[in-house]
Structure 1
């Protein structure tokens, strides 16, 4: 029932909203003469006042002229005021001469300012409001109210000067209710995000009372008594400006208070949007208007309002924010680039057009418009360049595209030889050099070894100056000798390997883009070389390490274990989705075959049943393997439940008796990897007991305090000599276990001797 009522209310509001827009559009397209009439002593209807917004203002009709006819019909008296306001054909007696005046066609520039831009804004608001409506919360309601009131205010501001009562009432309500909705939207958003604890009830009450007072005052002025327009207009602008300034000030305060939290990008977005939308209007139009010195016309200030629907609706509708810091840095950079050309263009334009207005005012108007368009254009250009550069520049000499393609190929490289071949091929295709050579320099023996990978070996000779450059190189930057380039690829022990690229085949010198490309691409290659060497060294150390030694790189060990877990998950998924499903399908077919064919000979049926039972065992084994590779229960049931299930499975298939005890272990871990590593440690210990120790009894216990988790493992197996070289080099299971513990910054101690079983004491930080 509540949902149905909400839909009815929403339909009603949107219908009223559209109806009001249609009414305002009709008022805009109707001609407005701008004449106010009165009666002279001869009972003539005379022109009392001419509004500057009316079309009569641009004619020679003046105050005191006699109105003879409206739309070809005689004027009867003051009752014709309403008919006169929207007249497009007037007969006027001016200086004893009767002249007929016709309203000119509305200029496109006026339509653009008064109708097209506001309606584009309105359509955008309407579409976004329909989307926001799906959110079903108070924040979305306040935002929809604010957006719709903003669009009504923007459109009505162009009609309010026509002295239409309906349009004036719409402006009075939409302007005040819009700013109150904005105020409520700000606080509702932060309450929803739990950034503040309670509503500003006192300030909100005062704000609402002040807003209602201004609405009533304007209605009184409109319907009952003419008050000074400066009083009513200024009060509306003051109330609007105070709300916006207070809201922006509150946003600044909250941003300073919470800028070190995860909410920092969201708060910055919330601050930037109203600043862009309202600051130009308040400080360049509203406040100068109150002081009688308007700088920026309302139509130009209104362009900044487009930041409202785009910005706030983006925040409401999306969960992932754009990098506001990056955007602000780009805007700052493009602002700097645009400043000087904008000033020059503004001076030129201001001096050649719009002679009917003040030069300073013309300059400011042109400056803000051109400056904004320049910054937007540069931002869009960057996006377009990124999106279409591959389509626009497909030639091989497009160095940026070459780097993109090369880095994609690097991800597949697993060996040093592959990397060297890939690098040489890329350099040949882009630079087309005469020769490419690798030079290895041994800093201990001062010996050089040269390998030519491309071109004629006779074309490359290592000169004394090149040797001096290599020996002097400490930074790894690009080295230049005559028409050739060299750069260090990697260091290994006391040896440094350089790539030297000979002169280009077309005998032109290397340009700055090619040098930059070479430096950039070698940096990528250098990283891959270092990773390949590090992985190779680590694998070698794992094979040769004493089980008591600590690994050289904890972070690399952690990375390799995470990589291994990723592969285990992939293998488990492949097994489950292919082999296991196929086994189940064939098992069911076999079962149906046995059930549906009772006339099968008994000996054949017996064999089929054996095959069926064997398939059941295979299915169970695959499921067990999948669970070991990817323990789903660890995510769903937690560590302790997963370990109990693991121990139960082991107890069913191993020969030793297993005792275990867990003493109030908390399930709160900083990350999943810690839980998974503890699970893998127990898995390795129990596998080791099953395969190697020949134990008959295994006991495991785990407990914790505020900072540490403790694991104690004991078995009565055959044990081993801790000092035996064979054990040190070939006990890979315990070495991997030790590496896993060290990757968690933990400690592990092995206690064993021949015939005395094994004890393992593990400590892992919480």
Structure 2
């Protein structure tokens, strides 16, 4: 509710009037223009350096609150000026009179706000509200508020200043909290302090500094630099943690995190934040550099939509493979087309054919992959090692000589390969029509599902995968896989599991024969021992 109310207010303020930031200076009791911010504004044709600015939106310049913060007219719908000949003229300003402002300050923030709202609602209702998901939702909402409030804060609106300075620091603290819990989730040692709650003091400090700058406008610029310095310290801390962790553990999850966070932050850090702190001026405006930061939450969103947190290396590797092959063939095709019919084709047509060919080939690779899996059970492996992993798993399982040990080793291999903690074998008594092992509470598994399960089948029920393992005259066994969040196995993993199930089914039959043979030998030995004098 807080996000809705504040977001609606901030978007309304962005639409309340055009943002100008016209530099002004008082000389001999008169206010004149010194520096335009939007030099392409069409209204400059009506204003010259010799004109005197009398009022802004009917407020006299000496009573205008904006010039107490900065020597600028920040926003205005009407500026009243006096020409050197004494003529008084009103200049009316509309939103669209300032080029690019409609997109950078109005359209992009509003669209990003709505998109973030819809995606967080989806995550809230479809990701089972785990702690990691909740932190991700808070991070996304805070980044959205920081982005939307940037234009309002530039207008020197009190609420906009408070929201902007607090949220830009708070989003990094939430990100730090998220990373600490994520490291625990993927079982990687956290290389920083576990007392993350201490860092929530920083947003509180930013909030107080924002309030002070509202009541004491003279301190506005200095306190803005202090908040920016806090932001810089937190950012360096996060990037240092990721770099140290990656070089220490070489984890693929950390590699993805590092790229997702570091790359979008680099323009903001080196083109806006650092130049503004040390040089007093920026290379790239805050509005432009902040656009790169919006990639951070959406890179996390992509991983969440994959349903297993940060399980995207598979998709990235596969896409890279398809793109490389498509690029080479597209280049070969275009060179041949140009050599055969280049004189009849324009550059526009050649570009269109190139794009169409490239996209068509990438899509065709994905379609072929699906057809191969459905019809022939053949699947391209992005890593090229799933057959090796299958062989290794079969080799380990095949060395056991008891069914209980075999099932235990089988569960361990599946849990390790699919990165799931909740994996177990469920045994169903076909005569008594009931389970002989306990079904975990909340799982949608009943005896009818076991009756309908056929050899080689893997079925999904809500958060659970149920895979047929083995059956005999009295018992039926199935492998159960589930996760705290929803789970979705990739085609590569399903094929690996199907093949392993077939091997294990044969292993169980062979192990039963071995156990029966050993039992017979035991009885024969006991019988021989009893016949000895």
Indicate whether the TM-score tops 0.5.
yes
> How many Å separate the matches in 2 of 1:330 and 1:215?
44
Partner SS state of residue 256, structure 2: helix
Partner SS state of residue 219, structure 2: coil
> How many Å separate the matches in 1 of 2:366 and 2:181?
45
Question: Is structure 2 residue 294 aligned with structure 1 residue 302?
Answer: no
Partner SS state of residue 181, structure 2: helix
Q: 1:185 aligns with which of 165, 178, 182?
A: 178
> How many Å separate the matches in 2 of 1:685 and 1:172?
75
Question: Is structure 2 residue 215 aligned with structure 1 residue 223?
Answer: yes
2:268–2:290 CA contact under 8 A, matched in 1: yes
Deviation by residue 1:46-100 (Cα, 9 ceiling, x = unmatched) = 34766625969845636674345666x6x66734667986543333113234244
Q: 2:257 aligns with which of 255, 267, 270?
A: 270
* C-alpha spacing 1:186/1:59, structure 2 compared with 1 (3 Å): farther
Question: Is structure 2 residue 374 aligned with structure 1 residue 386?
Answer: no
Aligned to 2:445: none
* C-alpha spacing 1:333/1:142, structure 2 compared with 1 (3 Å): same
1:126–1:148 CA contact under 8 A, matched in 2: yes
C-alpha RMSD of the superposition: 5.4
Normalising by structure 1, we get a TM-score of 0.42
Shift in Å, 1:274: 0.5
Q: 2:110 aligns with which of 92, 103, 119?
A: 119
Structure 1, unmatched stretches of 5+, are 1-11, 339-373, 392-400, 413-553, 560-564, 566-571, 585-625, 637-670, 690-697, 701-712, 718-755, 757-766
Aligned to 1:78: 62
Shift in Å, 1:160: 2.8
1:89–1:100 CA contact under 8 A, matched in 2: yes
| Correspondence 1:530-541 to 2 at 5 A | none
> How many Å separate the matches in 2 of 1:328 and 1:239?
37
Partner SS state of residue 79, structure 2: strand
Aligned to 2:91: 101
Aligned to 2:37: 52
Aligned to 1:604: none
2:50–2:84 CA contact under 8 A, matched in 1: no
| Correspondence 1:579-598 to 2 at 5 A | none
Aligned to 2:12: 23
> How many Å separate the matches in 1 of 2:359 and 2:225?
42
* C-alpha spacing 1:143/1:59, structure 2 compared with 1 (3 Å): farther
1:278–1:304 CA contact under 8 A, matched in 2: yes
> How many Å separate the matches in 2 of 1:406 and 1:314?
26
Q: 2:512 aligns with which of 672, 679, 692?
A: 679
Normalising by structure 2, we get a TM-score of 0.58
> How many Å separate the matches in 2 of 1:127 and 1:141?
15
Shift in Å, 1:151: 1.3
* C-alpha spacing 1:283/1:34, structure 2 compared with 1 (3 Å): closer
By relative contact order (CA 8 Å, sep 6+), the higher-ranking structure is: 2
Partner SS state of residue 218, structure 2: coil
Aligned to 1:163: 156
* C-alpha spacing 1:684/1:103, structure 2 compared with 1 (3 Å): same
Q: Which has the larger radius of gyration?
A: 1
Aligned to 1:132: 123
> How many Å separate the matches in 2 of 1:130 and 1:411?
37
| Correspondence 1:215-254 to 2 at 5 A | 215-227=207-219, 229=221, 231-254=222-245
Deviation by residue 1:298-338 (Cα, 9 ceiling, x = unmatched) = 44433323322222234445216545277379769989x99
1:160–1:171 CA contact under 8 A, matched in 2: yes
| Correspondence 1:201-600 to 2 at 5 A | 205=198, 207-227=199-219, 229=221, 231-259=222-250, 264-292=251-279, 294-316=282-304, 318-319=307-308, 321-324=310-313, 327=316, 384-388=360-364
Deviation by residue 1:153-176 (Cα, 9 ceiling, x = unmatched) = 222223333232332222111112
Q: 1:632 aligns with which of 476, 479, 491?
A: 476
> How many Å separate the matches in 2 of 1:410 and 1:188?
42
Deviation by residue 1:548-601 (Cα, 9 ceiling, x = unmatched) = xxxxxx97x969xxxxx9xxxxxx9xxxx9xxx9xx9xxxxxxxxxxxxxxxxx
> How many Å separate the matches in 2 of 1:333 and 1:289?
42
> How many Å separate the matches in 2 of 1:242 and 1:112?
31
1:65–1:95 CA contact under 8 A, matched in 2: yes
> How many Å separate the matches in 1 of 2:77 and 2:100?
20
Deviation by residue 1:111-158 (Cα, 9 ceiling, x = unmatched) = 122222222322222122223334434433332222112112222223
1:34–1:57 CA contact under 8 A, matched in 2: no
2:132–2:182 CA contact under 8 A, matched in 1: yes
* C-alpha spacing 1:224/1:324, structure 2 compared with 1 (3 Å): same
> How many Å separate the matches in 2 of 1:411 and 1:130?
37
